[in-house]
Chains A and B, each alone.
Chain A
């Protein structure tokens, strides 16, 4: 909502300055978004006419225009606008002028070899609208003003307010003035609106159909006959220009002015184009009409339309149609001032994807009692400017305006805000805002002003009072430093622990979108179904990610392209298994690329491999409190891992839930995505599958038991079938005597010479130590034999002699 201090002063009297105004507006909740000085150099902008256009000799899209700016000689201006044509009346900015939008100062410049003196401006460049296609087009009526200033001498700055959706009343200057006055910023001037005094009947019949979900509850109108539509007088043009609106013609300007002044949208019809009266009704499915934006709309059933015998004239409260629109030669007009239900407006505009100024206002709620004021104000102004005769006002209603009241207990104010104001203050603020108050025994009975659809509860009154009194009056109550409940749950602690544990292994934490490119996602979705976003911001962010890998690998690739070779990144966050709330899992996912110790003078370089990520996963889980002696690993992994070089990890042999996958990324995927690196390995830890450690840190720390008896190491080499897993051997041995066997380590794997085909040798070192005594040779020999015998029996291994 754009206003000026000048315009505000039509409604309030104050001694305060603009500086105070800006502060006060923000303090009462009408946030000042920006303040633009319109007056800076705007005097330099002139109404001008293009006399001749020629194609630019060196550029296809540019034209060289001769422009009449009211001086003896025409100005040569180079212009790129498609609509620059001979005869067009537009706005000219001379060298030295500063363009309001871009704040750039114009100079005489050569454009592709042709000197251009100044510039022809678009509406956007002048802050008149957002229209940046082409240069401003002024109507023929401006022809007699060529050479005159377009902007009048306005000393008032353009103030842009951000009005929250609950405050339709502040979409009119008067509403803003009323709020300001309530806060002590001057005195509200009374509106002495003259009323139409007419003996002429409004002869065009208007009927509102009583039907279910009728979007229009009141339709006021009057006829103005024999008008001569013309250019608006200077004061009106100045007023509109001062808030960034482009004057068009008197009738349109007047309706815009009334809308901006008191937030009362109006619509003017050319009566002669209406066939036998107006019917306000619900649309039928498939009805069509051409709107004033020159687009054709096909309507669904149940939209509120203004129609005549022939069909739809317009969408009530949203946009009029071309068939009954006023034109320069319009003689007789019907002025409409109606009330449309916000819900109906919103439904229709959403379905048709239509956004207009009228829609914006009606969907927030227009004052239903402003119908008559709007007609009086606009009709009399039109008559003043365009002549003609006004009829009596006709108002059709299918519902009477209800008076809304509220019981307000003044004690609620302090209960909510923590501070107190007097009953006297309460009365003053509410009365200034337009409430009528009746004091009852324990409460105030308030009649809510008709322009405040947002107020329906006691709490709304508290807001009004505290807003106007000032939020700075609220006292700070310092928080008490006490805690009755732990801040994080066990699983939240685990989340944070894993996050930092992985980072401490050399991985950089990344945060990527929860959505991804379906092409990438397809590589990593395994058995999950694709979850599409109906309205993605772009097609390459069209699905929720089934795995974090899709994003990580995409970004990994970008970093590789930047010339980095050895990188590790990870992300901790959600992956999705369905489109219902809760169908998501939290995963820590890491990727590691390239080599270890590349180009080191001291260490051998090698590619990162599956045992690097296995270490990262296992070490992290051990750090988080899980017992690696119980881990069980097999090689069944999702299809995006290398089938031979990947594993999945369970916390124990019961294999209840997979807690991690790790391995090389499938070479086919690397090929398809074109990842250029020596090696790419990754892992996923499925946090939600991790049972929380049963023992708290506290429990784990209670007992300290170590053995000081001598330990001895025994080495074994077993020949086993190739498919036998090291894990199986370790398991067999560790179960033999947990009191004696304190550590098992695989120190060599060998295939080849001296080993039969399809067999391999696994060399294991076992540490044997008792907590009770020093073992003698006999004891050791026994355990030795036991190990050999059991391993041979259970795994088909043969000890290597």
Chain B
């Protein structure tokens, strides 16, 4: 057996044993130190007969690589074991609670307004606004509801002066008036906002939310009205088909006027929209009365169109299974957390309205 093979076999067997880091380093210097066994063999190359020199050198290099690799991996192994031993001591109870965080929420009414705006955005409506305090003219008279009209009794109005000239708007319809006075037709707007009636019981709150819709152009007829609302309800409830019923009704500011019911049924205490034989009234609408158009200097022989008003709170209740209207405004932390939406859940067209 050659010296080389001897060295190799001896150290490989040494390195296979259990060693600590200094023992390995000891071996390393025994082999590769200045006068190490392997280093000395390299010095010998010159003295070897030429015919054997090449083979010797090759063998030596192979052995050197083999031993070096083994030493390196041995060092890794030992170092890893040491680190693992240290990390093992650092082990914590990972089931302890994370650092505290708080979650904000968006009110279901705000979410619903965003959903509705997103739906109408698709078909070219833009959002308008008007003040909460209105004058008598915009809220009633301009909307073809003169003072001696019994329809005024249908609105229990909050007044801010004895002469009843200033009031809290009873519907979002005055935004129609403001919009049409401000611009020229065509008009294609929605106007969500707060509305007020001096009425308060289990199903009525003195403040609630409506969204007004107005589309005035040259040839807008009741078919467009039906199409628009059909689209809205389908998109809003995120269902493929809905049942919808238009019933004749009366509002002073539209003629003809309609109330719209949607079909539903109750399944396991939840309301299912679009099925069943029950009807639920959800909105009022109609073709804008020529008198209203005249009041805002729009020529009713050239322009016509529809308007509608929807209770936002009511829609939110239906979609999200909320039973009690009063709770919307009660500000109970538990209710807000339960029915509120994550602020990152912004309703959009491309992603869909809700998750």
Contacts and interface: CB of A to CB of B under 8 A. Distances in A.
A503 B343 contact: yes
Nearest to B158: A533
- Size class of B's contact patch? 35 or more
Given A463-B255, A467-B256, A346 B343 contact: no
Contacts of B250: 29, 164-167
B273 interface: no
Contacts of A600: 97, 99-100
Contact of A503 (B106, B257, B290): B106
A483 B124 contact: yes
B104 A602 contact: no
Contact of A580 (B106, B133, B188): B133
Contact of A504 (B125, B231, B343): B343
A506 B102 contact: yes
A534 B161 contact: yes
A28 B259 CA distance: 12
Contacts of A457: 255, 290
Contacts of B188: 485
A508 B194 contact: no
A417 B223 contact: yes
A581 B247 contact: no
Contacts of B37: none
B133 A487 contact: no
B94 to A, nearest CB: 13
A514 B223 contact: no
B206 A537 contact: yes
A185 B331 CA distance: 51
B126 A580 contact: no
Interface in B114-141: 114, 117, 120-127, 129, 131-135, 138
Interface in A526-583: 531-537, 541, 544, 551-552, 555, 558-559, 562, 564, 567-570, 572-574, 576, 579-583
B328 interface: yes
B22 to A, nearest CB: 40
A706 interface: no
Contact of B200 (A537, A597, A603): A537
Contact of A601 (B96, B124, B127): B96
Contacts of A601: 96-97
A466 B287 CA distance: 12
Given A503-B343, A584-B131, A559 B333 contact: yes
A174 interface: no
B289 interface: yes
Interface stretch (B39-47, B58-66, B149-157): B149-157
A487 B117 contact: yes
A600 B96 CA distance: 11
Interface residues of A, number: 100
A511 B206 contact: no
A509 B340 contact: yes
B226 A475 contact: yes
The CB with the most chain A CB atoms within 10 A, among B97, B100, B104, B290, is that of B104
A443 interface: no
A480 B104 contact: no
Contact of B133 (A164, A460, A478, A576): A576
Interface in B332-348: 332-334, 336-337, 340, 343-344, 346
A28 B248 contact: yes
Contact of A463 (B125, B198, B247, B248): B248
A31 interface: yes
B295 interface: no
Contact of A480 (B124, B135, B333, B336): B124
A509 B223 contact: no
B124 A484 contact: yes
A558 B255 contact: no
B74 interface: no
A488 interface: yes
Instruction: Pick the most buried of B96, B148, B304: most chain A CB atoms within 10 A of its CB.
Output: B148
Nearest to A605: B100
A474 to B, nearest CB: 5
Smallest CB-CB A-B distances: 10 pairs: A29-B248, A506-B102, A418-B223, A164-B250, A555-B331, A463-B256, A503-B104, A503-B343, A471-B246, A418-B221
Interface of A: 26-29, 31, 164-167, 342-343, 346-347, 363-364, 415-419, 457, 459-460, 462-463, 466-467, 471-472, 474-489, 492, 496, 499-515, 531-537, 541, 544, 551-552, 555, 558-559, 562, 564, 567-570, 572-574, 576, 579-584, 596-597, 600-603
Given A29-B248, A463-B257, 15 more contacts: A459-B290, A460-B255, A471-B247, A476-B223, A478-B227, A485-B188, A492-B127, A492-B129, A509-B340, A534-B160, A536-B158, A536-B198, A558-B331, A559-B331, A579-B160
Interface of B: 96-97, 99-107, 109-110, 114, 117, 120-127, 129, 131-135, 138, 148-151, 153-154, 158-162, 164, 166, 168, 188, 194, 196, 198-200, 206-207, 219, 221-224, 226-228, 230-231, 245-250, 255-259, 287, 289-290, 304, 328-334, 336-337, 340, 343-344, 346
